Amino acid sequence: MLRATFKSLLSRKARLLLSGIAIILGVTFITGSLVMRASFSTSIEGMFTTAFESVDVQISSEGTNAATGQPNPIPESVVAQVATVDGVESATGLVSDAANTVVVIDKNGKAIPAFGAPTIASNWTGVEDPMELREGAGPAADDEIAISASLADSTGYKLGEQFPVISSITSEQQSFKITGIVGYTGGRDTLGGEKTMWFTTPAAQTLVMGTTGAFTNIDVKAASGVDDNTLRDRIGAELGSSFKVQTGEDLAKEISGQFDEILGAFNNILIAFGAVAVFVSIFLIINTFSIIVAQRTRELALFRAMGAGRGQVINSVLLEAAIIGVLAGVVGLGLGVLVGWGGTAALGGLFGGMDATLSVPTSAIVSALAIGIVVTMLAAVFPAIRASRIPPIAALRDAANAERSVLPFGIIGGVFLLLGGGLLTWALTGNAGDNRLMVMGGGILSLFIGAVIFTPVIARPLVSVIGRIMSWSMPGKLGRRNSGRNPRRTAITATALMIGVTLVTAIGVLGSSAQASIDKYFENSVKADLVIGSAAPSTTIPSFKTEILGEMKAVPGVKLVVGAWADLGATINGEIVSVIAVDDLAGQNHMFATKTDQGNTDTLGPNDVVINTDTAKAENLKLGDKVEIKLTGSPTPKSFTVSGITESGGEGGGGYTISSVNAEQFTTKNPIQAFVELDDGADTQQVTDQINTLLADNPLITVNDVSALSDQIKQIFDIILTIVQVLLIVAMGIAVIGVVNTLTLSVLERTRELGLLRAVGMTKSQVTGMVTVESVVISVFGAILGLAVGAGLGIAAQQALKDQFLDTLAMPWNTMAFYLVAGVVIGVLAALIPAYRANKLNVLRAISYE
């Protein structure tokens, strides 16, 4: 039996390869993700270990300042105290800030927004490994600065130039002369993407902490022969619990651990796609083995006739599966290791040329083999059982494929579909209460499974309809009939494609709905075209002069300007509340499409306050009620009357809105924000430039184009969608192999028919046409099913998230049309190899086939 299995395997090399490829891809995906994750962790840890190699022990403060959110400063005296600890060679005070306290002003005089990799301000303590001075020297005077090559690169500032910054502690712009440019060993401009500037210690202390005589960290060098861990523990004992004492190794672990988390999320996505690939592979393998069994019917029946038991037949098929599984697992693992390594190297490029270290975790090896073997064997079980049911008498009959019933698929699939439909209706009609999203998710999953199982039932009628379009000629007609010959096989083949298309379509529906919802949100609710305000979040909120509001109104093309003030220290009964002042309440409500609930929400008297329905409910306030608000600048609370209530839901308007005449008593007496609506057809760029000129003395205040903002958000969605689709195309690629596989085997099965057709005069191009039609019918069937199911699931998910933020449904018609066309193209491409084989067939041998 074993010998026979091996022989039959070897005689089916092509089939082995094709069904193997599917599993290989799935295994590659999953092991690739695991290897990449492990390698990336190792590499990034290696990178930070290098970065912290020169650090023996580092001290930071444990707590943070409640008001500023900054770490508590470490007094200078602690440095001296640490220096006395036994085994310490030296202790150096460090200043380091990554919270964007010190904002860099670019060459256009505007603050650089705090997006992406951090900009770090620190004190110069000399060139230490892995730093390398590229040009000049470190700062010697308090008006000098050294910057990292990455910072010089991104801002364009050069050695010798003045480098302007604003500290949110001092709130004033200061310039420093660039005396040095710093790089890192290995020709890198940055360690991990960050940008760094170094000041003298006093300058850094003033900018970052607003005071001299304190540090954020202390760097400790161990005396030779003293172990880092021992020293850490000794210093920890000396300083007590208000300080965090770590070795360089601890630090490297801590920081690389943070990167690891981000990577973990990314990896889970990759693994999810791997799972989809494996899932699709299952269909392909079931299909392949079904066909192998169908072809081996006579051979297997002969075994049975010679006395082989059912178990032996099952074993023979499963053995074949196991061999394919092991091979595919090993090859997939090999490719996965390559992919993981390549991925790590590519990611390393984002971190300033990090060295990629390969690390293959045991989990990758185990899962590769487990997935390969288990998935293949599971998928082969049904065909194996079917094989064992072949009666010995079949050896004597022609191996005509008996039509098999699709009824069980109809019943099981139908049950899932009904269950899913029921759950969905339940959730959508709002009867499911708090579990709504879960019920919805369950419903969608059940519908998906149901649709997959139900496919064979609709295969025949649907395939017949699709095929009708293509059966204008005899070869077309034959192709169409062939595709309907074995609904189960057609369905399983098409299902592999359907799953991919379903997922991309469903995600496409969600993506386009998200974009449409964002569009609608910005169009309907935010009338403001420009928002003027702080560029970077910082501890003190930057403001601008009140007169500028009037000057902005005068700019041609500006229709409406609303100024906004905020009091950060306002309290009611001692509790901090959000108090905002505006100079034009009607204008503000118009810009944010805020609707009136009760009272007057158009104007504000000096003692009036407007709240929204949420605040009214939470604070139990009615129209006409008195509210005692203590503003920062006044010694006693002032009494305000609730003069109007707005509907919640619009932007802004939360908290307490009062007239701008009260701004005199605010923390900041100047407006912090302005909302500008433009005339129709006004040139946004021109107005922006003019307002920027008005704000020339306020580098921290920038003009933001709202439509640009919506574009940015939409772009992010676009990128996510593209990534998802590219990954799913891999799943579709596997499906294509499935179509090729099925057709190749069908061609083999129909050798005699092909011989007959060629004998009675069918040309090679007609044979190609016939095979192509069959292929296109199957793949278009899969694509149409996928589009329908995907659209259904996408719409269901959108309905489920309607109240979250996906309020607008938009169908991605273009992408859907693309997938339909792709279905045709896939069909044509998949037909190439089988058609070639069909034409290569020797007519004579085909008709004298025995």
Partner 1 sequence: MASTTMADAGIAARAAGVWKVYGTGEAQVIALRDVSVDLARGRFTAIMGPSGSGKSTLMHCLAGLDTVNRGEVFIGDLRVTGMSDRQLTQMRRDNVGFIFQQFNLLPTLTAEENITLPLSIAGKKPDKAWFDQVIDTVGLRDRLSHKPTELSGGQQQRVACARALVSRPEVIFADEPTGNLDSKSGAEVLNFLRDSVDRFGQTIVMVTHDANAASYADRVLFLADGQVVDELIDPTAEQVLDELKRLEEIVGSRQTQAEGH
- Rounded to a whole number of angstroms, the minimum distance from the CB of residue 747 to partner 1 is 14
Q: Is 468 in the site for partner 1 (CB under 8 A)?
A: no
Please name every residue paired with 680 in a beta bridge, in sequence order, or none if there are none: none
Contact stretch for partner 1 (CB under 8 A) within 78-86, 268-276, 420-428, 478-486: 478-486
Say which residues have a Cβ less than 8 Å from residue 102's Cβ, sequence separation at least 6. Answer: 119, 121, 165, 166, 167, 168, 197, 207, 208
Contact stretch for partner 1 (CB under 8 A) within 322-330, 436-444, 473-481, 737-745: 473-481
Q: Is 758 in the site for partner 1 (CB under 8 A)?
A: yes
Going from the C-alpha of 37 to that of each of 34, 264, 336, 364, the distances in angstroms are 5, 7, 12, 10
Q: Give me the amino acid identity at 30.
A: I
- Rounded to a whole number of angstroms, the minimum distance from the CB of residue 756 to partner 1 is 7
Q: What are phi and psi of 819, to 5 degrees?
A: -70, -30
Burial of 148 (0-12, 13-18, 19+ CB in 10 A): buried
- Rounded to a whole number of angstroms, the minimum distance from the CB of residue 463 to partner 1 is 13
Using CB under 8 A, pick the residue from 762, 820, 824, 841 that binds partner 1: 762
Using CB under 8 A, pick the residue from 335, 375, 470, 478 that binds partner 1: 478
Say which residues have a Cβ less than 8 Å from residue 200's Cβ, sequence separation at least 6. Answer: 123, 124, 139, 140, 141, 142, 144
Using CB under 8 A, pick the residue from 766, 799, 818, 832 that binds partner 1: 766
Q: Which residue reads 């190609």 in tokens?
A: 768
Q: Is 682 in the site for partner 1 (CB under 8 A)?
A: no
Q: Is 782 in the site for partner 1 (CB under 8 A)?
A: no
Contact 411, 450 (CB under 8 A): no
Nearer to partner 1, 716 or 843 (CB): 843
Q: Is 475 in the site for partner 1 (CB under 8 A)?
A: yes
DSSP string, 29-98: HHHHHHHHHHHHHHHHHHHHHHHTTT-SEEEEES-B-TTT-PBPPEEHHHHHHHHTSTTEEEEEEE-EE-
Q: Is 482 in the site for partner 1 (CB under 8 A)?
A: yes
Q: With contacts defined by CB under 8 A, how many residues of the chain interact with partner 1? A: 26
Say which residues have a Cβ less than 8 Å from residue 587's Cβ, sequence separation at least 6. Answer: 560, 561, 562, 675
Using CB under 8 A, pick the residue from 396, 411, 474, 716 that binds partner 1: 474
Cis (ω within 30 of 0) for the bond into 130? yes
| Helix locations, 484-568, DSSP H | 487-524, 547-554
Q: What are phi and psi of 110, to 5 degrees?
A: -115, 150
Q: Is 370 in the site for partner 1 (CB under 8 A)?
A: no
> Residue 793 and residue 48: Cα distance in Å, rounded?
45
- Rounded to a whole number of angstroms, the minimum distance from the CB of residue 298 to partner 1 is 15
Nearer to partner 1, 603 or 842 (CB): 842
Q: Write each residue from 804 to 843 as x if it is in contact with partner 1 (CB under 8 A), else as -, in one continuous string.
A: ---------------------------------------x
Contact stretch for partner 1 (CB under 8 A) within 181-189, 214-222, 507-515, 754-762: 754-762
Contact stretch for partner 1 (CB under 8 A) within 93-101, 176-184, 521-529, 755-763: 755-763
Using CB under 8 A, pick the residue from 141, 350, 759, 817 that binds partner 1: 759
Nearer to partner 1, 680 or 850 (CB): 850
Q: Is 66 in the site for partner 1 (CB under 8 A)?
A: no
SS3 call for 402: coil
394-423 residues in contact with partner 1 (CB under 8 A) are 400
SS3 call for 573: coil
Using CB under 8 A, pick the residue from 244, 253, 481, 553 that binds partner 1: 481
Nearer to partner 1, 720 or 762 (CB): 762
575-634 residues in contact with partner 1 (CB under 8 A) are none
Q: Is 340 in the site for partner 1 (CB under 8 A)?
A: no
> Residue 280 and residue 732: Cα distance in Å, rounded?
9
Report the sign of the C-alpha dihedral through residues 545, 551, 553, 555, in that order.
negative
Nearer to partner 1, 513 or 775 (CB): 775
- Rounded to a whole number of angstroms, the minimum distance from the CB of residue 837 to partner 1 is 16
Tokens coding 430: 């709002």
Q: Is 294 in the site for partner 1 (CB under 8 A)?
A: no
Q: Write each residue from 485 to 504 as x if it is in contact with partner 1 (CB under 8 A), else as -, in one continuous string.
A: x-------------------
Going from the C-alpha of 478 to that of each of 138, 744, 759, 839, the distances in angstroms are 82, 16, 16, 16
Contact 181, 170 (CB under 8 A): no
SS3 call for 131: strand
Q: Is 756 in the site for partner 1 (CB under 8 A)?
A: yes
Can you give the binding site for partner 1, defined by CB under 8 A?
A: 400, 473-475, 477-478, 481-482, 485, 752-753, 756-764, 766, 843-844, 847-849
